[in-house]
Chains A and B, each alone.
Chain A
Amino acid sequence: MELEELEKNVKTLEDINEIENMHREFIFWLNNKQWDEMSDCFAEKAVTEMDIQGGLNGEEKNAKIFIEDFARDDRSNIRQLVTQPVINVEGDRAKGYWILYSFFLIPTPPQEAQAHEIVKWVQGRYDCEYVREDGNWKFSYLKCTSPWPKSEWPDNVPEPNFWI
């Protein structure tokens, strides 16, 4: 393998690592309600699309406005976890998808906040596009689908309500 090709391969692995780190930090900040830091993960013209049952209907929205709206609509009882990233990089752009678990929690007395009862949980998916902007990887597009995969329930089974 030529040195140049090797360098390209190493750069791709480093980029994947940086994108994964950025997206994980985004989730840490979401769970800790650090809205400014979350907003900084988006590129200037980034767009979000939330397809979330019972809440958000798949409309595209400017990412910075989405974060402002999300911060106002405080949902203290939700915790998100992400795993299984699949990221592909092409130069200064990348695409990726992740599995998402959203937990809807209530504190469990008498040990308030030490343990939380899992009232509901739902599996979802993030589909994202990333762009390198000023040397840092950012979201250019972020879509959240929850639940994922979507299920067809028999007529005699009420569709679960995953949103609180």
Chain B
Amino acid sequence: MTLEELKKRVKVLQDIEEIKKMHRDYIFWLSEQNWDDMTECFAENAIIKIGVHGAQDDNDEAKGKKEINRIFKDVIGKRALEVKPKGGHILLQPVITVEGDRAKGHWDMNRFVYNPDAHGGPAPEMGPGRYDCEYIREGGKWKISNLKWIHPFPKPPGSSEGKS
């Protein structure tokens, strides 16, 4: 094997680690509702589909970094202040593949909250979910170009994906 081939393989491994770090930072910012830093993780023309929390309709997608920032600030952020269950997010189990300046990945992403109004009294709750993402290298940095959050994941029999 040549040095050039080895450099390429090392680059892939480095890219995987950079993507993981970027997406983990994204979740740190999401948990603290730091919308401006969080939206810097998105590519200029990124698309998000995060069901009932994000777009106006389950079938809508939010497109473009500016629109994504608006959705998080004006829709998701406002709702987060209004609802009683509060908590954080945990991002685990990345499976990332890189091809040049593009990559794909999926993760387990769960919300852990304390719900003071739970049906049977105050209780810890878990919102199980999954991220399916595409990434792109933009300006030398890895960004999210497409993010889909499936919640709940797995879907229980008879339930609709993403509907409340």
| Chain A contacts to B: CB under 8 angstroms | 3, 6-7, 10, 13-14, 17, 21, 24-25, 27-28, 31-33, 76, 79, 81-83, 103, 105, 107-118
Contacts and interface: CB of A to CB of B under 8 A. Distances in A.
Contacts of B123: 108, 117-118
5 contacts: A31-B128, A114-B152, A115-B126, A117-B123, A117-B124
B90 to A, nearest CB: 8
Interface of B: 1, 3, 6, 9-10, 13, 16, 85, 90, 92-95, 106, 108, 110-111, 113, 115, 118-120, 123-128, 130, 151-156, 159, 164
Contacts of B3: 3
B81 to A, nearest CB: 18
B94 A24 contact: yes
A69 to B, nearest CB: 21
Contacts, number: 90
Contacts of B111: 115
Contacts of B90: 81
A29 to B, nearest CB: 10
Main secondary structure of the interface of B (DSSP, over half): mixed
B99 to A, nearest CB: 15
**Max chain A C-beta neighbours (<10 A), residue from B108, B124, B159:** B108
Contacts of A3: 1, 3, 6
A123 to B, nearest CB: 14
B62 to A, nearest CB: 20
B67 to A, nearest CB: 25
Given A32-B153, A116-B128, A81 B119 contact: no
A28 B108 contact: yes
B95 A24 contact: yes
Nearest to B106: A28
Given A108-B115, A108-B123, 12 more contacts: A3-B1, A10-B9, A17-B13, A24-B95, A27-B108, A31-B128, A107-B156, A112-B156, A114-B151, A115-B125, A115-B126, A118-B124
B9 to A, nearest CB: 5
**Max chain A C-beta neighbours (<10 A), residue from B93, B95, B119, B128:** B93
